[in-house]
Structure 1
Amino acid sequence: MKTNQNKPSYLKRKAYFLITLALFLASVVLHWYFGWKDYVNEQMAHSQAPQVPEYIVQMMRETMENWQSEFLQLIWQVVGLSFLWYCGSPQSKEGDDRREEKLDFIIRRLEPGKAEELLEQWKIKYPDK
Structure 2
Amino acid sequence: MSRRPNSGSNLRRWGAVYVLVVLFVGSWIGQFFTSMAEFADTQAQHGQPFEWGAFLYQFFSATFENWQSEWLQVVFQAMLLMGAKHWLFQVDSEDLERIEDKLDDLLHQRRTFE
TM range (shorter): 0.5 to 0.7
**Higher normalized helix content (fraction of residues):** 2
Q: Aligned residue pairs: how many? A: 99
Higher RCO structure (Cα 8 Å, ≥6 apart): 2
Name the CA shift for 1:10/1:58 in 2 (closer, same or farther; >3 Å).
Answer: same
Name the CA shift for 1:74/1:114 in 2 (closer, same or farther; >3 Å).
Answer: same
Write out aligned runs for 1:1-129 (5 A).
9-74=9-74, 77=77, 91=86, 94=91, 101=99, 108=106, 113-114=109-110
Structure-2 separation of matches of 1:93 and 1:19: 37
Query: Sequence identity of aligned pairs in percent?
Result: 23
Structure-2 separation of matches of 1:14 and 1:93: 35
Name the CA shift for 1:15/1:77 in 2 (closer, same or farther; >3 Å).
Answer: farther
CA shift at 1:71, angstroms? 3.3
| Misfit runs of 4+, over 6 Å | none
Structure-2 separation of matches of 1:4 and 1:77: 41
Which segments of 5 or more consecutive residues in structure 1 lack a partner in the other structure?
85-89, 119-129
- RMSD after superposition: 4.1
Which segments of 5 or more consecutive residues in structure 2 lack a partner in the other structure?
none
- TM superposition score normalised by structure 1: 0.57
CA shift at 1:17, angstroms? 1.2
